[in-house]
Homo-oligomer: A and B are copies of this chain.
Amino acid sequence: MAWRGQQVTTRLDSDGTLTVELREQEWQQPTGAMVLVRMEAAPINPSDLGLLFASADTDNAEYSPGRIVARMPEAATRAMAARHGMAMPLGNEGAGTVVAAGDDPAAQALVGKRVACVPGTAYATYALCPAAMCMPVDDSVTAEQAASSFVNPMTALGFVETMRMEGFTGLIHAAAASNLGQMLLRICQKDGIPLVNVVRSSEQAALLTDMGASHVLDMKDPDFVTRLAGAIKQTGAMLGFDPIGGGKMASNMLTAMELAASEGQPFSRYGSSTAKKVYIYGALDLGPTILNRSFGLTWDVGGWLLTPFMAKAGPEVLMRMRGRVMQGLTTTFASHYKARVDLAQMLSKDAVAEYNARRTGEKYLVIP
C-alpha cells in the first residue's frame, strides 16, 4: 500500500539559487520500528527557518503557487556547500495520527493513536518517524496542543539542567517573551529558580509581569546594563541564554554579571574571578556577535544546541524531562500561535514575510 500527498522541500544550488517548493510525494508502508504519521499540525520554529531559508533574500524572491525562488548570499552559499543540489524535506516536529506501522511491537502499538513526533520532515501530508520519536497523547489533547512538544519544551528544560550541571544557581534569558521564554518562566516558577527575563518592548514586559515574573528588563531601556547588573546582584544569575546571537546581548550580559560580581571588591586588573557564562542558542539576529570584553578574563561564551546537550545528559535525564513535558503539555508547556497556514499558504509571500521575520510572539503553525 502507498499514501500520496505533498511535501515542502528546500534546495540550494551552487549558483546561490534557493528553491523552496511543494512537491507531490508518495510514502510506502513503513518497516521495522518506523511509523507513518498523517501530520495534523507542525510549528515553524527558528531552527526550521535556518534550513528552510537560511539567510536567503525572501523579500525579493519570486513567488508562484507552491514555489519560491530566492537568492542566497555568496558567503552563505559557500558555507553550505554540503547541501548543494539536494531537495531537503524539513519540519522538525509536529503532531498527527499514526496510519501505518512496521512489524516492531513498539511501532504497532501506536497505530491509530494521536502522537507528538519529531520526524524532521513534518511539513508534509505524511511523515515517516521512528516509533521512539513519537509520544502518544491523551484523547483530550488536540494535535495543535501536541505540535510543539519537543523543541521548545526540551530546550527550556535543557537550560535548567545545564545550569545545574555547570554549578550555576540562576538564569538570564533574552527574548524571554517567546513561547520558549514563557515555558522557561513557568518551569523556573515551579522549581524556585531565579530568572531574569530580558525583552524588547513594554508589551512583552507586561505579558511576563502578568504571568508573575519577578525580574523583567527591557533591552531598549537606556539604563539596561545597569539595571541588569542590579537584577543579577539580587538573583546571582551568572548564566545567560541568548537566542539573538548577533549584536551585543551576550556582551551586555557578561558586562552586567561582571558589574554585579565586582561590586564592593578590591580592584583587579583582570576582573572578578566569578564564573560568568552566556550560551548563544539561536540567530534571531544573523549579524556578528560583538563582545566588548569589558568583563575581565573570567568569562565564557559558547553555542548551545539541543542534540549534543541530550547526548551529554543521557537517557535517564531525558526520560524524566520527556515525562514532565507530556504531563504539562496544556499547562507549563503550552504554546501560542499567531496564525495557521496549510502547506500551500506556508509558501505565500505574506506568510513568509511575517514568520521569517522571527519576531517574538509571531509564531506560525502549519496545518498540512
Partner-B contacts on A (CB < 8 A): 47, 50-51, 54, 75, 79-80, 82-83, 86, 245-246, 251, 262, 265-270, 273, 280-281, 283, 288-294, 296-305, 307-308
Contact = CB atoms under 8 A, between A and B. Distances in A.
A44 to B, nearest CB: 14
A75 B245 contact: no
A319 B312 CA distance: 34
Given A270-B305, A291-B291, A293-B303, 18 more contacts: A51-B269, A75-B294, A82-B266, A246-B293, A280-B297, A288-B292, A289-B289, A289-B290, A289-B291, A289-B292, A291-B301, A296-B303, A297-B303, A298-B303, A298-B308, A300-B301, A300-B302, A301-B301
Contacts of A54: 269
B80 A267 contact: yes
Contacts of A297: 280-281, 303-305
Nearest to A263: B82
A267 B83 contact: yes
14 contacts: A50-B269, A75-B294, A79-B294, A82-B262, A82-B266, A245-B293, A273-B307, A283-B293, A288-B291, A289-B290, A290-B291, A297-B304, A301-B301, A302-B302
This chain: copies in complex: 2
Nearest to A264: B82
Contacts of A273: 307-308
What 3 pairs across the A-B complex have the smallest Cβ distances?
Answer: A82-B267, A297-B303, A300-B302
A246 B302 CA distance: 17
Candidate in A50, A266, A269, A302 with the most chain B CB atoms within 10 angstroms: A269
Contacts of A267: 80, 82-83, 86
Contacts of A308: 273, 298
A119 to B, nearest CB: 16
A316 to B, nearest CB: 22
A82 B51 CA distance: 48
Contact of A265 (B50, B82, B296, B302): B82
A359 to B, nearest CB: 20
A349 B162 CA distance: 51
A83 B267 CA distance: 6
A303 B303 contact: no
A258 B270 CA distance: 30
Nearest to A286: B293
Contacts of A298: 303, 305, 308
A269 B108 CA distance: 32
A270 B307 contact: yes
